[in-house]
Structure 1
């Protein structure tokens, strides 16, 4: 018997959180329970990071005027994205892409400044700081799903504009706006699948052996 293995119930719970995690856009205004946000941030902070650099920084947006300014900027970027999509522009504009004004909590996630000082694991791949921060967001996403809390990752923004709005230091980089809150229901499938924007590929299409299988690309 493998003593490192979780119980069958615990294993099932981990896989259930992974399978039922959704990028949420529709929220209820109900506040999170006391201590819940702190638990989710702690879960994020437990993520692995290259060289243990822990590049993630979380800014909680509690000023409603700032939240409104962020939402206004995202809406500007939504329109710019639609313009860039040409023939899919009108289809894109029908999609709901954020819930910034309706969710309980908004967090801006950024990469720390002075990241160039961290060389361990980044000498040839400096983007590993972004990979590390993405792991932190995924930790939060799974913990939130386990607690019945929806999370949506918004990436429609100009990093320089958002950095200015949140008074982030020179050299830092915002990478996500996270909307967190209670939801009426979790989507039965990813929203972009439901809206027929795209569909999840089969595992056989993305899993290769020994070399890149160009026939699957």
Structure 2
């Protein structure tokens, strides 16, 4: 039987990208991403698996400075609402840096495409598989960015409808992520929310069971 595995060095590179990927909030101001690298990253995203090969993603690159500011304003509005909803942790949350929209080299809004409702294969009982497929594309982009030495941050603090209207999305399309991408000062050894003492990663053993939903 043919050995279909990667070489040791290739495997190590894949696992390194997974382990060292971080949700970045701090970027190098004034930096850029070359067109060649950007093309590779988007190709990696587009190579993601999707249920029924529906490819429900749409990547909107934001190059207009005024539009970038308007997107950041929408995020700031939701940041305040989220803080209020957190109750006693409001001030603690407001002290966190939750986005890098102003400084990142590239800004994308990722959306679910219109017309995806027509896809039945894999979605009849689980319609949310369109979102799962888009998440795979985002993860591909994230890992490829890390391999290129670039950071990426996923911003989800926004109301979908105002952002869709701002970007003139058609009916049926829905934004699911704002992605900040670009060179970063450094990659932290731990997730930023652990460093900020907001939350901590739990061990794998708490998330794996066998045959039934048993408690760890």
Tell me the TM-score range normalised by the shorter chain: over 0.9
Distance, in Å, in 2 between the alignment partners of 1:33 and 1:49 is 28
Q: 1:34 offset after TM fit, Å? A: 3.0
Name 1:11's counterpart in structure 2: 11
Deviations 1:160-196 (A, max 9, x none): 0110111110110100000001001011110001111
Residue segments in structure 1 that go unaligned for 5+ positions in a row: none
Distance, in Å, in 2 between the alignment partners of 1:147 and 1:209 is 37
Deviations 1:7-49 (A, max 9, x none): 0000000000000000000001210123111111110000000
Deviations 1:94-141 (A, max 9, x none): 100000010000000000011111000000000000000000000000
Name 1:87's counterpart in structure 2: 88
Name 1:63's counterpart in structure 2: 64
Distance, in Å, in 2 between the alignment partners of 1:116 and 1:181 is 33
Root mean square deviation of aligned Cα: 0.9
Match of 2:88, SS state, is: helix
Structure 1 residue 146 and structure 2 residue 147: aligned?
yes
Name 1:74's counterpart in structure 2: 75
TM-score using structure 2 length: 0.98
Q: 1:2 offset after TM fit, Å? A: 5.0
Distance, in Å, in 1 between the alignment partners of 2:40 and 2:167 is 23
Distance, in Å, in 2 between the alignment partners of 1:2 and 1:101 is 50
Distance, in Å, in 1 between the alignment partners of 2:7 and 2:167 is 43
Distance, in Å, in 1 between the alignment partners of 2:60 and 2:135 is 16
Residue segments in structure 2 that go unaligned for 5+ positions in a row: none
Match of 1:161, SS state, is: helix
Name 1:195's counterpart in structure 2: 196
